[in-house]
Amino acid sequence: MACALRDRFGRHITYLRLSVTDRCDLRCIYCMSEDMTFVPRGELLSVEELDRLASAFVDRGVSKIRITGGEPLVRKGVMSLFEGLSRHLRTGALRELTLTTNGTLLARHADALARLGVRRVNVSLDTLDPVRFRAITRRGTLGVVMDGLRAAQEAGLRIKLNAVALKSVTEHEIHDLIAFAHGRGMDLTLIETMPLGEIGADRTDQYLPLTELRRLIGTRWTLEDTAERTGGPARYARVAETGGRIGFITPMSHNFCESCNRVRVSATGTLYTCLGQEDQADLRQALRGSEADDALRAAISAAIEAKPRGHDFSIERGRPTLSRHMSVLGG
């Protein structure tokens, strides 16, 4: 393996979040506007290019890859990408290959994902109420996601539920979400809404700090902080009554940049070294400019060297911090 990736602040980069599309079959109110303009399909990297790009990161010491979107399972040929990347699991170069999904297509693909070496998945689920689910997603059906969760567990996949904390929503459901997740052996991670992209609504009306939500959780459940980590930004606590874990991702109220070990690549081959900054590097040009990977490796190294110390998110009435939608990189 070549020299491992390390930024100028001494952080080792071992985690790649690779987006395969910015498209999604839902339109969640905190993520997208009702009418979205997506990247033309002709500008996306091919499955073969995505494999080559991800493999270049594996060669530099990246041991975890998360496939994201948009909704990654809507991407044509995405299972071929999982099949290709699974070779790095067999050699031991890659410790984990996983994905984040909204669950709508999970029932269709769960068995194949498990067969190809995926051991756990993150599934977005913000509510257990079918009417509220439709309102939040603007078009989704809760029962379809529930079918996906069942199929994933039957295939042997471990599941972590991701719930975005939404004011006037999550306060009413948090106890039920905990009971649902832990009663089925699933972790639950709570995420503060992030000011990315124009969504046709004011995020100050959505924002619920996790400090407030944690206090509410404490009125019913006993939280015991733990040093457990899964490679991402979540800080975990165990619930004494259930034995299950709750993760807290707090980009707004308390950032996690000091331990950041990850970078993100969009479906067009743009490397973003920080979710909350515009710093980017074009890997597509390096990828397509030569059949050898020397230029690609050099572009990756230069981008990592310039990785910023952290993000500067702020919730301001009327405008997002960045124009880039969360669906570009999968959060």
Which pLDDT value is given to residue 319? 53
Domains of the chain, by residue range, sit at 15-328
Annotated binding site: which residue ranges?
17, 24, 28, 30-31, 66, 70, 100, 124, 160, 194, 257, 260, 262-264, 274
Annotated binding site for GTP: which residue ranges?
17, 66, 100, 160, 262-264
pTM of structure: 0.88
> Using one digit for the tens of pLDDT, what is the confidence trace for 213-238?
999 999 999 999 998 877 667 899 99
What whole-number distance in Å separates Cα of residue 162 and Cα of residue 181? 10
Does the pLDDT of residue 69 top 50, yes or no?
Answer: yes
What whole-number distance in Å separates Cα of residue 310 and Cα of residue 238? 28
Annotated binding site for S-adenosyl-L-methionine: which residue ranges?
30, 70, 124, 194
Inter-residue contact 66 to 19 (CB < 8 Å): no
Average confidence (pLDDT) over 232-255? 85
Inter-residue contact 156 to 114 (CB < 8 Å): yes
Task: Return the top range by mean pLDDT from 5-19, 25-39, 164-178, 246-260.
Answer: 164-178
Does the pLDDT of residue 322 top 90, yes or no?
Answer: no
Provide CB contacts within 8 A for 104, sequence distance 6+: 25, 26, 71, 73, 140, 144, 145, 148
Inter-residue contact 248 to 190 (CB < 8 Å): yes
Kindly state the tokens that stand for 7. 């930024």
Predicted confidence band at 198 (pLDDT cuts at 50, 70, 90)? low
Annotated binding site for [4Fe-4S] cluster: which residue ranges?
24, 28, 31, 257, 260, 274
Q: Which one is the CATH code of 15-328: 3.20.20.70, 3.40.640.10, 3.40.47.10, 2.60.40.1220?
A: 3.20.20.70
Which pLDDT value is given to residue 280? 83
Length, in residues, of the chain: 331
